């Protein structure tokens, strides 16, 4: 199964990765061979088999009592911010 | 005798008897790290001051009769995937270079509560994606038995540090073999617990339905002492299991495999298995039989689909988990030019290494519109078939024994050009994660060129006790695990 250059570029955009032409060409070859190997899965009959989303079945998502408690202090949460304005994370302009 | 040659259990007894102090032992570990790590590269960060401070505090507690248990004052180290408050955490990636977490992972907190002395953070494949520690953005870790070879991955530093006697035990994570494979390659004992046995809170996520935390030690008993300190329900992780945590270490004293039924799956003895590995593993099985276990042939017919299933499920979950690295809240942020969108693309392009990008690309493709059913959903169904194989086998046996890896540690650089070949070598470890089972690797011999070989023991969900029983009985009858590499 061989991916086209355009398919690789489309996936890179979905993944928010800017790739050089060399990287696109390299990934095209590598992804094609990996996906070719994965094709093995198509040979199995999985009719009526339920999917396993989690290895251990958890009956339901447990809910904790809705009570107020201490959480991360704003100063700690923002300590690694590349850019901040008061208690806000600052990002470059959004509207292009 | 140099205290670094003691096992964790032996050290614990010496500390309790006040034959040695935590400060002395911690200083000896730091000295060992200084002497060996320029060559090995097991540590990404060594916290000398913090370690000595905690060691002295442990000694003071003990002097005052307030010692906290078997880990009090014992020097340990952590894979750099665990968030550590105030201590840099990189996950082996440039994108987190300089990141200092504001909180401790549940395991770090529990180890601190147990009095353990944390020496520092260990090298690993970037975001735990790799089988050789070579995808680390900070350079590879080297195998203490032969420094031209990989210690295994992704928890390469965690395995190498124990093998090189730099500390008494370490924590790693295992998503598809990342504890068991490096344990086998580096000649130490490593355990991946049942999925949910340990919390995942504060562990940087790779594939959430597969990731599990576990210990590396010189012996199965040492692994038991560490695991029982970190295991158990955690309100911060809804997938952590509310199951009692036994005193595994006490339970394995005088452990015997008499009467145990051990399954031997024929699918794990196939073409591609190194004859020296097969010989060592078969001999280990023969010994277990001599010790009173019965070997029972079992079938795991979907084994050959394990790699394909894993390399859909894991990359799909990773592509989703790693979406959080966007340059907004922490880590690298490339925002010199352009708007928000450019920042995302440039940060991720410069921050992630080639293997991480490759897996994000595979996962994004497998989850993309039109392909979801053919890849992700189908892989999850095959995952059910793989799980059913084990359910059936465990109707007949108490545990399953296999080689941990098809071969011994390979040379650095040997497989980096061919990612698929690297993936195929994970063939014996992946199914355990897909099925959520506990698995252990114990040293069971050496190749003719002096490289360690590992025996893998797989158990029923939540039955780590059987793994400790088999591992403990095997180590009581053998001395592979006592051998130490000569470094340099």
What would the DSSP string read from start to end of chain A?
----HHHHHHHHHHTT----HHHHHHHHHHHHHHHHHHGGGGGS--TTPPP-SSSS--SS-------------HHHHTTT-SSEETTEE-------
Give the one of B381, B385, B436 whose C-beta lies nearest to A56's C-beta.
Answer: B436
Q: Judge whether A17 lies within some domain.
A: yes
* pLDDT > 90? residue B296: yes
Kindly give, in sequence order, each residue whose CB lies less than 8 Å from that of residue B111, ignoring residues fewer than 6 positions away: B71, B76, B118, B171, B229, B230
End-to-end CA distance of chain A: 38
Q: Judge whether B399 lies within some domain.
A: no
Q: Considering only residues B301 and A96, tell me which one the structure prediction assigns the higher pLDDT.
A: B301
User: Is B79 one of the catalytic residues?
Assistant: yes
Distance from chain centroid for Cα A96? 24
Pairing of strands B75-79, A88-89: unpaired
Q: Specify the DSSP element, H or E, that contains B385.
A: helix B378-393
Copy the structure tokens of residue B221: 């008993």
Tally of structural domains, chain A: 1
- Given pLDDT bands bounded at 50, 70 and 90, which one contains residue A55? confident
The 10s digit of each residue's pLDDT in B242-282 is: 999 999 999 999 889 999 999 999 999 998 999 999 999 99
Chain A CB within 8 Å of residue B194 CB:
yes
Q: Judge whether A36 lies within some domain.
A: yes
Give the one of B100, B374, B435 whose C-beta lies nearest to A80's C-beta.
Answer: B100
pLDDT at A54: 82
Q: Judge whether B459 lies within some domain.
A: no
Reduced to 3 states (helix: H, G, I; strand: E, B; else coil), residue B284 is: helix
Chain B residue with Cα closest to A31: B362
* pLDDT > 80? residue A56: no
Flag if B382 and A33 touch (Cβ within 8 Å).
Answer: no
Of the residues B79, B121, B192, B460, which is catalytic? B79
Handedness of CA B34, B38, B43, B45 (dihedral sign): positive
Tally of CB atoms within 10 A around B60: 12
State the Cα–Cα distance between residues B113 and B71, nearest whole angstrom: 10
Mean pLDDT of A61-72: 85
Q: Judge whether A65 lies within some domain.
A: no
What is the ipTM metric for this complex? 0.95
Q: Judge whether B385 lies within some domain.
A: no
Pairing of strands A88-89, A84-85: antiparallel
Flag if B348 and A35 touch (Cβ within 8 Å).
Answer: no
DSSP B117: E
- Given pLDDT bands bounded at 50, 70 and 90, which one contains residue B369? confident
Chain A CB within 8 Å of residue B325 CB:
no
Residues of A in contact with B328 (CB under 8 A): 82, 89, 91
Q: Specify the DSSP element, H or E, that contains B296.
A: strand B294-298
CATH, residue A19:
1.10.20
State the Cα–Cα distance between residues B61 and B349, nearest whole angstrom: 49
| Burial call B465-487: b when 16+ CB within 10 Å, e when fewer | bbbbbbbbbbbeebebbeeebeb
Chain A residue with Cα closest to B102: A76
Q: Judge whether B475 lies within some domain.
A: no
Mean pLDDT of B283-292: 98
The mean pLDDT value of chain B amounts to 97
Flag if B357 and A27 touch (Cβ within 8 Å).
Answer: yes
pTM over 0.90: yes
Give the one of B99, B308, B360 whose C-beta lies nearest to A40's C-beta.
Answer: B308
* pLDDT > 80? residue B1: no
Flag if A94 and B311 touch (Cβ within 8 Å).
Answer: no
Flag if A89 and B329 touch (Cβ within 8 Å).
Answer: yes
The 10s digit of each residue's pLDDT in B130-151 is: 999 999 999 999 999 999 999 9
User: Is B178 one of the catalytic residues?
Assistant: yes
**Which of these, B132, B116, B129, lies nearest to B171 by C-alpha position?**
B116
Give the one of B241, B305, B326 whose C-beta lies nearest to A41's C-beta.
Answer: B305
The domain containing residue A14 runs over which residues?
5-43
The 10s digit of each residue's pLDDT in B385-425 is: 999 999 999 999 999 999 999 999 999 999 988 888 888 88
Chain A residue with Cα closest to B96: A80
Q: Judge whether A53 lies within some domain.
A: no
CATH, residue B145:
3.90.1300.10
Task: Give alpha helix (H) positions in B114-257.
Answer: 156-163, 180-186, 220-230, 248-251
Q: Judge whether B208 lies within some domain.
A: yes
State the Cα–Cα distance between residues A38 and B307, nearest whole angstrom: 8
Q: Judge whether B301 lies within some domain.
A: no
Tally of structural domains, chain B: 1
- Residue A68 C-alpha, separation from nearest chain B C-alpha, in angstroms: 15
Residues of A in contact with B368 (CB under 8 A): 11, 14
Flag if A16 and B103 touch (Cβ within 8 Å).
Answer: no
pLDDT at B361: 97
Q: Judge whether B57 lies within some domain.
A: yes
Q: Where are the beta strands (DSSP E) in B34-168?
A: 43-46, 75-79, 117-122
Mutate to test the interface with B, among A4, A10, A11 (most CBs of B within 10 A): A11
The domain containing residue B133 runs over which residues?
3-258
Chain A CB within 8 Å of residue B423 CB:
yes
The interaxial angle of helices B22-40 and B8-16, nearest 10 deg, is 150
State the Cα–Cα distance between residues B117 and B281, nearest whole angstrom: 35
Paired with B192 in beta bridges are: B439
Q: Judge whether B56 lies within some domain.
A: yes
State the Cα–Cα distance between residues B330 and B325, nearest whole angstrom: 8
Yes or no: say if B98 and B51 are a contact pair by the CB < 8 Å rule: no
CA dihedral B290, B291, B296, B299 (to 10 degrees): -110
């Amino acid at each position: 199964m061989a991916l086209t250059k355009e398919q690789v570029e489309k996936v890179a955009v979905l993944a928010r990765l800017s790739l050089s032409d060399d990287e696109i060409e390299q990934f095209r070859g590598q992804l094609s061979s990996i996906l070719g190997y994965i094709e093995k899965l198509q040979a199995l009959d999985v009719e009526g088999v339920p999917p396993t989303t989690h290895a251990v079945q958890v009956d339901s998502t447990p809910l904790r009592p809705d009570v107020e408690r201490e959480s991360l202090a704003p100063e700690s949460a923002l300590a690694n911010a590349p850019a901040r304005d008061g208690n806000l994370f600052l990002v470059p302009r959004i509207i292009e | 005798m140099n205290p670094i040659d003691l096992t964790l259990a032996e050290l614990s007894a010496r500390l309790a008897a006040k034959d040695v102090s935590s400060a002395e032992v911690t200083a000896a570990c730091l000295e060992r790290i200084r002497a060996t790590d320029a060559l090995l590269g097991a540590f990404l960060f060594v916290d000398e001051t913090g370690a000595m401070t905690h060691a002295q505090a442990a000694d003071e507690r003990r002097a005052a009769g307030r010692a906290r248990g078997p880990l009090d004052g014992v020097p340990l180290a952590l894979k750099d995937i665990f968030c550590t408050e105030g201590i840099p955490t990189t996950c082996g990636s440039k994108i987190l270079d300089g990141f200092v977490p504001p909180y401790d992972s549940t395991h770090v907190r529990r180890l601190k509560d147990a009095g353990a002395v944390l020496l520092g953070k260990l090298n690993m494949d970037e975001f735990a994606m790799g089988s050789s520690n070579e995808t680390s953005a900070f350079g590879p870790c080297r195998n203490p038995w032969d420094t031209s070879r990989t210690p295994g991955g992704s928890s390469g530093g965690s395995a190498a540090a124990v093998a090189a006697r730099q500390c008494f035990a370490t924590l790693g994570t295992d998503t598809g073999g990342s504890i068991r494979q490096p344990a086998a390659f580096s000649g130490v004992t490593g355990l991946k617990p049942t999925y949910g046995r340990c919390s995942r809170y504060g562990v940087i996520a790779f594939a959430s339905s597969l990731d599990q935390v576990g210990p590396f030690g010189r012996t199965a008993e040492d692994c038991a002492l560490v695991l029982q300190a970190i295991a158990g329900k955690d309100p911060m992780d809804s997938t952590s299991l509310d199951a009692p945590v036994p005193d595994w270490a006490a339970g394995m004293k005088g452990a015997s495999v008499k009467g145990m039924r051990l399954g031997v799956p024929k699918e794990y003895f196939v073409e591609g298995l190194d004859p020296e590995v097969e010989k060592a593993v078969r001999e280990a099985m023969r010994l277990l039989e001599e010790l009173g276990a019965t070997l029972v042939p079992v079938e795991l017919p979907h084994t050959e689909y394990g790699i394909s299933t894993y390399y859909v499920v894991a990359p799909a979950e990773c592509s989703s988990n790693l979406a959080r690295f966007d340059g907004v809240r922490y880590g690298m942020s490339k925002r010199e030019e352009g708007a928000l969108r450019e920042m995302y693309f440039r940060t991720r392009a410069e921050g992630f290494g080639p293997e991480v990008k490759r897996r994000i690309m595979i996962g994004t493709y497998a989850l993309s519109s039109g392909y979801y059913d053919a890849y992700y959903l189908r892989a999850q169904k095959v995952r059910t078939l793989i799980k059913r194989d084990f359910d059936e086998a465990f109707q007949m046996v108490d545990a399953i024994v296999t080689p941990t890896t098809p071969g011994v540690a390979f040379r650095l650089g040997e497989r980096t050009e061919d990612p698929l070949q690297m993936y195929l070598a994970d063939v014996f470890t992946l199914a355990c994660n897909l099925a959520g089972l506990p698995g252990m690797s114990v040293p069971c011999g050496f190749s003719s060129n002096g490289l360690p070989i590992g025996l893998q023991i797989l158990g029923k969900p939540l039955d780590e006790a059987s793994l400790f029983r088999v591992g403990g009985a095997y180590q009581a009858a053998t001395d592979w695990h006592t051998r130490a590499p000569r470094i340099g």
